[in-house]
Amino acid sequence: MGVRREPRSMTTLSFDPDGVDVVYEGCEFRLERSLVEEATRKDYFAVTDHEVLRLVEADPSLSGQARRIGDIVAGR
C-alpha cells in the first residue's frame, strides 16, 4: 500500500498598501508591510509578488511575469 499525497494547494496572496493577506495550505495569515520590507530589505512597493511567494513557500512554482506590489495596489 502506497502513501497517498494530497495535491499541493495553491497559495493565495492579496495585496493592499499595508501588507499581504496570505492563504497557504489552508492557513490564513497576514504579512505586515514592515515585515515584508525587513525580510526583503526593499521598499514594500518595490517588492514583487514572486518575492513574497518565496517568503511563504520553500519551493514555489512561479509562473508569469513578476509584478511589483506598487503596480498591483495601483491596479496596473
Output the DSSP codes for 4-36: P-PPPPPPEEEEETTEEEEEETTEEEEEEHHHH
pLDDT over 90 at 73, yes or no: yes
Chain centroid to CA 62: 11
Q: Where along the chain do its domains lie? A: 12-74
**Which DSSP category does 38 fall into?**
H
pLDDT confidence of residue 60 = 87
Q: What is the pTM of this model?
A: 0.84
pLDDT confidence of residue 5 = 46
The pLDDT tens digits for 12-51 are: 999 999 999 999 988 999 999 999 999 999 999 999 999 9
Sheet of 27-32: strands edge to edge? 12-16, 19-24, 27-32
